[in-house]
Chain A
Amino acid sequence: MVDFDWPWQYKFPPFFTIQPNIETFKKQLEAWCSLVLDYQRHIKQYTLDVTEAQNSELFYNKQLNRRLSLEAIYVVLDELKRRGNLEWKDKSKKSCTLIWRTPAEWGKIIYNWICSRAMNNTVCTLFELSDGEDSEGQEFHGLDKEILIRALKSLESEGKAEFMVFDGSEGVKFF
């Protein structure tokens, strides 16, 4: 895996202290939000466990010996939630799903791939899409099932696909 290209803020110690100046804070928060999303995209992770994340390199810069406090992490995550890039999995806010690409965007990518392979009017299983050999190397390879379903649902609402459930297994038909 290619090393993640950390933004300059990550090497800037004040980045890890919530700034009292509101203007400064806005910039800081923005930088954190994009860092979290970029990082998650880089490691291809959709879920984030807050307790684990506390000690991950995302929030803890070992070189600087600076870490973002739990309180501050929640500030960042709440902001992401406000922007629609995050959904809490539970009420206690222990873990969350990060949506660094909206389901509609995902849907588009998948649909483009299907078109390019001329697989219209065929039925695929969800497993084929996310873990199949054919989709290897594609961005949505290894996509979280939940997000995949949402992406397909959004395609369905556009009339480009039909989501099907038979015998407990799920499939999709593209038009």
Chain B
Amino acid sequence: MDRFSWCDGGLYPDESRVVEKSGVAVYDGQDKTAFTNGIAILTTHRLMWRDQKNRNCVISLPLSNISSLDEQPSGFTKSAKIIVHLTPAVPGRPPGPVTYSCHNFIRLSFRELGQREFLQYMKEEIQKKKWEAETAPIPSASNSGGSSNLLPRQRAGIMGIERSIQQRNKETNKNISQAFQDLRNLMEKAKEMVTLSKTIATKIKDKQGEITEDETVKFKSYLLSMGIPNPVTKETHGTGDKYYSELAKELSSVLAKQIQETGGMMTLTDVYCRVNRARGMELLSPEDLLHACQLMEMLRLPLRLRTFDSGVSVLQTQSQNEEEIVTQTSQLVQDKGPMTAEQLAQRLGLPVVLARERLLLTEKLGGLCRDETIEGLKFYPNLFLTQA
């Protein structure tokens, strides 16, 4: 009986419940114990017993402590029993209900029958030795960690819970500091990268004559895709309007070409992603970006912020005026036949939202008309206006 220890009834991570039987009493050898009416629970790792009335009273016995099993059939006044022979007690086990016992076996008395089935399961589990498989994959590296993971679980009471919480806190702290260490390394590297790109930029300026124009252009385009060498930040340009106007200039110089390439229009979400990717470490907040874009018109930059009726915001090149879009789109629909926003998006390589906006704009100005069905919204050339 001294091999038993107190536990909270919870399972280990790899452990699973096998079978339960109520109306079971535990005998220490031949002697009766206080554990007379409870539920015997067999798991892959342990034999547990829980008091039927006081559910917090749970004792457990590792299956590794069992050497052999015997069956004792029921008699006239006796219920059937399983005799569990135990290996010698291991010193240093967690506290249990009995500190010392002279018996080398315990008996489980089944008052509500079912001992045969239970015995069968016990034999199977002891043969499978799942508890060994569980400890094997955890290598020696976390030997201390492994045992400290398991031990607090076996500790009962508030102390046990507190200690496990403490343990968890410690580990989280360690993880966080580790993660930040990585980030610090990255930041140091990033600084190097930025200085590197700066030096390259100045080199290009100095050697303008020596390398051919072609190479310079190529080099510059590399730099552009690499990032923004001197990003406008609040540190360098202060806060308020000055910052935003500088930011607007930066945005328009970086994005003008890209927007031109993507059909003269880019959603603000895309702008946000691209700019932040180019800026690398000095990330922009969405608000700052929006403020900067709103200033573009005032600063007479080649880009403009535009909000469609549907609420979609885009940056577009100044040259992209409405009439052009309308004529382009209606011409396209006339040539290629009726199309949905998705089809137009595919044809022009635009995001669907923008394609949709184009169609709606064209419709608004009378270039197209719509056919709305369950299959979706399709746009047709506006024959109502063009055909008599």
Task: Say yes or no: A9 contacts B384, CB within 8 Å.
Answer: yes
- Residues facing A in B40-79 (CB within 8 A) are none
B364 contacts chain A at the CB level, 8 A cutoff: yes
Task: Say yes or no: A21 contacts B369, CB within 8 Å.
Answer: yes
- The docked-state distance in angstroms from the alpha carbon of A21 to that of B380 is 13
Q: Mark A9-40, 1 if CB is under 8 A from B, else 0.
A: 10011101101110110011001000000000
- Note all chain B residues with C-beta closer than 8 A to A24: 363, 366, 369, 382, 384-385
B335 contacts chain A at the CB level, 8 A cutoff: no
Task: Say yes or no: B370 contacts A19, CB within 8 Å.
Answer: yes
Which of B365, B372, B378, B384 has the most C-beta atoms of chain A within 10 angstroms of its own C-beta? B384
B212 contacts chain A at the CB level, 8 A cutoff: no
**How close is A22's CB to chain B, nearest CB, in angstroms?**
9
A67's nearest neighbour on chain B, judged by CB, is: B373
- In the complex where A21-B364, A21-B366, A23-B366 touch, is A14 in contact with B371 (Cβ < 8 A)? yes
- Note all chain A residues with C-beta closer than 8 A to B385: 23-24, 27
Interface range on chain B (Cβ under 8 Å from partner): 10 to 19
Interface range on chain A (Cβ under 8 Å from partner): 10 to 19
- Note all chain B residues with C-beta closer than 8 A to A66: 371, 373
- Residues facing B in A121-175 (CB within 8 A) are none
- In the complex where A21-B363, A21-B364 touch, is A28 in contact with B384 (Cβ < 8 A)? yes
Which of A12, A28, A66 has the most C-beta atoms of chain B within 10 angstroms of its own C-beta? A12
- The docked-state distance in angstroms from the alpha carbon of A20 to that of B365 is 11
A4 contacts chain B at the CB level, 8 A cutoff: no
- Residues facing B in A63-115 (CB within 8 A) are 66
**How close is B326's CB to chain A, nearest CB, in angstroms?**
12
- Residues facing A in B326-382 (CB within 8 A) are 338, 363-366, 369-373, 378, 380, 382
B387 contacts chain A at the CB level, 8 A cutoff: yes
Task: Say yes or no: B380 contacts A13, CB within 8 Å.
Answer: yes
**How close is B343's CB to chain A, nearest CB, in angstroms?**
15
**How close is A20's CB to chain B, nearest CB, in angstroms?**
7
Task: Say yes or no: A20 contacts B380, CB within 8 Å.
Answer: no
- The docked-state distance in angstroms from the alpha carbon of A14 to that of B363 is 12
- The docked-state distance in angstroms from the alpha carbon of A106 to that of B384 is 32
Task: Say yes or no: B366 contacts A14, CB within 8 Å.
Answer: no
- The docked-state distance in angstroms from the alpha carbon of A27 to that of B380 is 15
7 pairs of residues in contact across A and B, judged by CB atoms under 8 Å: A13-B338, A14-B371, A20-B364, A21-B363, A24-B366, A24-B382, A27-B385
Q: Other than A23-B366, A24-B369, give 20 A-B pairs with Cβ distance below 8 A.
A: A9-B384, A12-B380, A12-B383, A13-B338, A13-B371, A13-B373, A13-B380, A14-B370, A14-B384, A17-B369, A17-B373, A19-B369, A21-B369, A24-B382, A24-B384, A24-B385, A27-B385, A31-B384, A66-B371, A66-B373
